[in-house]
Amino acid sequence: MKHLPLFFDLSGRKVVVVGEGPAADRRAALARSAGAAVRQLGDIRAADLRGAAAVFIATGDLDHDTVAQRVAKLLGVPVNVADRPALCDFILPAIVDRDDVVVAISTGGAAPTLAATLRGRIEAVLPERIGSLAKLAATFRTQVNTLIADPARRRAFWRRLVEGPAARLAMAGDDAAARRAALGELDDARRRLAPVGIAHIVGAGPGDPDLLTLKAAQLLREADAILHDDLVPSAVLARARRDAEFLAVGKRKGLARWTQDEINAELVRRVRAGQMVVRLKAGDPFVFGRGGEEVEALRAAGLPVAIVPGVTAALGCAASAGIPLTHRRLASAVTFVSGHSAPENEAVNREATWPALAAQGHTLAIYMGASEAASVRDRLLEAGAHPAMPVAIVENGTQPEERVSTGRLSDLTRLAASHARGDAGPSLIIVGEVAALAAVAQPPLAKVS
């Protein structure tokens, strides 16, 4: 090891920066971010360095850098010279700053680009709010040391804290809930009780595994159990931890195997048993995903739950098909609509909703609509939509087997027939002038007048 990695407390201490320009300014800003009292100079004298904890030199001129470095060395002040490792007492690593959590990467000055590349990779996987977890741990350190005397049990508590429900809540930004969870775990550890788990209601996105959010991908790698929809493709499930327990709890139309009440009860049972559970839902859990009902059930049971949004089908499928949901000349509004509606709401939906949805300059993204294409067409035509309004149907959007059909509203039933067969994938119907811009629409459909 060429350099010993140290974290130096500069809070309130004098730091001198010699030089002007971007390199010097960056070093001054870095020292200030650590709480240092920075004095930035164009040149240096011995008197300027009295009481200094460190000196950064970045004049850009070898002769000036060398003179300033010699002054610092004579006074015994640690010095860093930008881009001149041979003149340095210490070097600056590539830094990942997450508040109370700081990661430093160094190649000893040999390959700064490699250090920067590694920093980017670490930033991609390190949660943005990991510093909140460090703060949470710090607030409980004295209590833990007092209440849990046995070192092995104390280590087990800390592992649980940084990997369990309290950690997830802290990194989700719910500091109050994280503190309550940590207090509960501390009390359980003191009384030697089994800890409670946590449920994450996670959006799997529209199908392409590369469209998973970073947080969703991380949770899949850590989950004890994954309760997933039938519509979540195997390529997404393949990103999960290999020894996790997988449970398909799909409720596709006509093929329901699990009721919503049964799913809610299973989530509650597993969290009470101490598992870290991911409820993986296609698209976004709060857009026609009934994620809200699962959150309500877990909260009613007094159990911790966190929500991780996903790219909803309308956004992913439209983008994949080359359809802008809004367009300066064609559409100034977009509405997400379910192709199925509860019978008791049918009259309200028909009378109040559909006339507004049929207006020009309005894009409709209709979920679960392929099997209801005739009803969707009739509702829109009855509400005043133009029969020649462009439509597009996107099946298996964002996935390798994606298939797009385009046409007119009046012909929607025929277009949807092949997308409603038994072996068809999930389909999204897009209605509006923007549908004419689908990448497969050749030649472009004319604007409705």
Q: CATH 3.40.1010.10 region(s) of the chain?
A: 130-308
14-92 CATH fold: Rossmann fold (3.40.50)
Report how far Cα 95 is from the mean position of its chain's Cα atoms: 21
Catalytic residues: 229, 251
125-176: pLDDT as tens digits: 888 999 999 999 999 999 998 888 888 788 888 888 988 889 989 988 999 9
CA distance 288 to 310: 12
Q: CATH 3.40.50.720 region(s) of the chain?
A: 14-92
Strand extents, DSSP E, 58-123: 79-81, 94-98, 101-105
CA distance 354 to 357: 5
Model confidence at 303, in pLDDT bands (50, 70, 90)?
very high
Report which listed range, 157-171, 312-326, 408-422, is most confident.
312-326
Please determine, for residue 56, whether its predicted confidence score (pLDDT) is greater than 80.
yes
329 within 8 A of 367, measured Cβ to Cβ: no
Model confidence at 60, in pLDDT bands (50, 70, 90)?
very high
Give percent of the chain with pLDDT exceeding 90.
68
Model confidence at 386, in pLDDT bands (50, 70, 90)?
very high
Please determine, for residue 343, whether its predicted confidence score (pLDDT) is greater than 70.
no
Which pLDDT does position 341 carry in this prediction? Answer: 55
> What's phi and psi for 427, nearest 5 deg?
-125, 150
Report which listed range, 9-13, 91-95, 355-359, is most confident.
9-13
Please determine, for residue 444, whether its predicted confidence score (pLDDT) is greater than 50.
no
Model confidence at 351, in pLDDT bands (50, 70, 90)?
low
3-state SS string for 309-338: CCCCHHHHHHHHCCCCCCECCCECEEEEEE
For residues 420-428, average pLDDT: 84
Q: In whole numbers, what is the pLDDT of the chain averaged over residues? A: 89
Pairing of strands 362-367, 37-41: unpaired
Which pLDDT does position 1 carry in this prediction? Answer: 77
Q: CATH 3.30.950.10 region(s) of the chain?
A: 315-437
> What's phi and psi for 124, nearest 5 deg?
-70, -25
Model confidence at 348, in pLDDT bands (50, 70, 90)?
very low
Amino acid identity, residue 253? K
Q: At what angle do helices 214-222 and 112-125 cross, to 10 degrees?
A: 70
Which pLDDT does position 440 carry in this prediction? Answer: 66
Which pLDDT does position 445 carry in this prediction? Answer: 46
CATH code for the part of the protein at 130-308 = 3.40.1010.10
Q: Of 70, 46, 63, 56, whose CA–CA distance to 25 is shortest? A: 56
Report which listed range, 143-157, 171-185, 191-205, is most confident.
171-185
Is cis: bond before 443, omega within 30 of 0?
A: yes
Q: Which residues contact 129 (CB under 8 A, 6 or more apart)?
A: 98, 170, 171, 172, 173
Q: Of 66, 106, 67, whose CA–CA distance to 87 is shortest? A: 66
Model confidence at 369, in pLDDT bands (50, 70, 90)?
confident
Q: Please tell me the pTM assigned to this model.
A: 0.70
The answer to which of 63-67, 253-257, 272-276 has the lowest mean pLDDT is: 253-257
**Which superfamily does 315-437 belong to?**
Tetrapyrrole methylase, C-terminal domain (3.30.950.10)
Which pLDDT does position 253 carry in this prediction? Answer: 58
Which pLDDT does position 187 carry in this prediction? Answer: 87
34 within 8 A of 11, measured Cβ to Cβ: yes
80 within 8 A of 88, measured Cβ to Cβ: yes
For residues 81-100, average pLDDT: 92
CA distance 126 to 428: 34
